Amino acid sequence: MRRTIEKLAQKRREKEQAFAKKIQELKEQAQALDGKALAVALADLLELQNGLTDAKDKEWDALASNHVGMIFKSMEWRVDKFASAVEDARILLKKFVLLKDQLDRLLAVLEKKKMPAPAAVKEVLEPLEDSRYTGFENRFRGSEDDIKRQQAPYISYFRPGGKVLDLGCGRGEFLDLLQKNGIEGSGVDGNGQMVDICLDKGLNCRKADILETLAKWPDGSLDGIFSSQVIEHLPPPYLKRMIELCQAKLATGGTLLLETVNPTSVFALVQIYFLDVTHQKPVHPEALKFLMESSGFADVEIAFGAELGDERLQNLPAADETASILNRNIDRLNSLLYAAPNYAAVGKKG
């Protein structure tokens, strides 16, 4: 839009210069009292005036359109931020009701001059920590609609009518996608606040440890296992055991899909991975592929997410040898700095 406005402004300036030049010619011809030349000059002047008016109108229309677009973009960002704040407030109000009940019970214990049990105190503190991380997710991970758009392509890896377990289901975006596509989904998450959000949506979810949940499923009983933005939170031995259990619990031909931050993208590492202090260790795509293959998964593929757009360095328009060399170096820098921020490792049980 900026280039369009600049082009229109340049055209308008050219029309103004031509108009001013014709005015000067008209003055000179009028002074010479050349009636025929004066008539021609007046006709030319009228045509130039019309052109100048048209050029100004187009420039002003473009400026107005750009200004309105910027206003709407700014409003959209503010609305998203406000929606996130409203969701945080709604969750906190619900949790405060539960905490008040728990605190009342603790107060009753203290009034009897007894020491409260550590478990009772933990029962109060744990929801507060859960709420804090839920607020972090709402502010920095993106809206639920954005996450659904990012995760929608993963649905094609799971067959309709199948049974899929979502490990670390969070706010339930993928569980909702599974439900809408005729796939039976169930989720598990260690954050009680996230589980409450899922349950409020009518999704099948419970609070539990991932390994404990996997261990309870019968071997070969699942058609698919999905996990998004979870494995970077896990210590390596835990992750290794999780993949082994996934292989055991999947039916033959079942799919395991693990999505995580792409550490081969410097942008993703700095702007996404290090933003979350609960992350344990970034997982390189080739390392995750090896872990899955060594646990028995076949045909493991690495599927990279959408590329970054505006952040990427721009190529030079020139076509000489120097520009070609610079453009090749810019492409290499883009591959290092601005590669896709997320990737998924997808494997099947043979």
Looking at the fold, whether 207 and 231 belong to one and the same domain comes out as yes
Looking at the fold, whether 69 and 207 belong to one and the same domain comes out as no
Looking at the fold, whether 93 and 216 belong to one and the same domain comes out as no
Structural domain that includes position 36:
2-77
Q: What is the pTM of this model?
A: 0.66
CB 84 within 8 A of CB 139: yes
Last-in-domain residue among 107, 124, 139: 139
Looking at the fold, whether 21 and 91 belong to one and the same domain comes out as no
Looking at the fold, whether 193 and 302 belong to one and the same domain comes out as yes
The string of DSSP letters for 308-338 reads: P-TTSPPPPS--SHHHHHHHHHHHHHHHHHS
Domain annotation covers residue 82: no
- Separation CA 38–CA 58 (nearest Å): 30
Rg (C-alpha) for the chain, rounded Å, is 31
Last-in-domain residue among 59, 77, 95: 77
CATH classification of the domain holding 332: 3.40.50.150
Last-in-domain residue among 77, 99, 116: 77
Residue by residue, pLDDT tens for the chain (350 residues) are: 667 767 777 777 787 788 777 777 766 766 665 556 656 666 666 667 667 677 767 777 776 666 666 555 555 545 555 565 566 666 666 666 666 666 666 667 666 776 666 666 566 556 666 666 666 676 667 788 999 999 999 999 999 999 999 999 999 999 999 999 999 999 999 998 899 999 999 999 999 999 999 999 999 999 999 999 999 999 999 999 999 999 999 999 999 999 999 999 999 999 999 999 899 999 999 999 999 999 999 999 999 998 887 788 888 887 788 888 888 999 999 999 999 999 999 999 98
Looking at the fold, whether 210 and 324 belong to one and the same domain comes out as yes
Looking at the fold, whether 65 and 157 belong to one and the same domain comes out as no
φ, ψ dihedrals at 300, nearest 5°? -70, 125
- For the four alpha carbons of 80, 82, 83 and 84, in that order, the dihedral sign comes to positive
Looking at the fold, whether 101 and 152 belong to one and the same domain comes out as no
Domain annotation covers residue 258: yes
Residue type, 162: G
What's the structural domain count of the chain?
Answer: 3
SS3 string, 194-252, reads: HHHHHHHCCCCEEECCHHHHHHHCCCCCEEEEEEECCHHHCCHHHHHHHHHHHHHHEEE
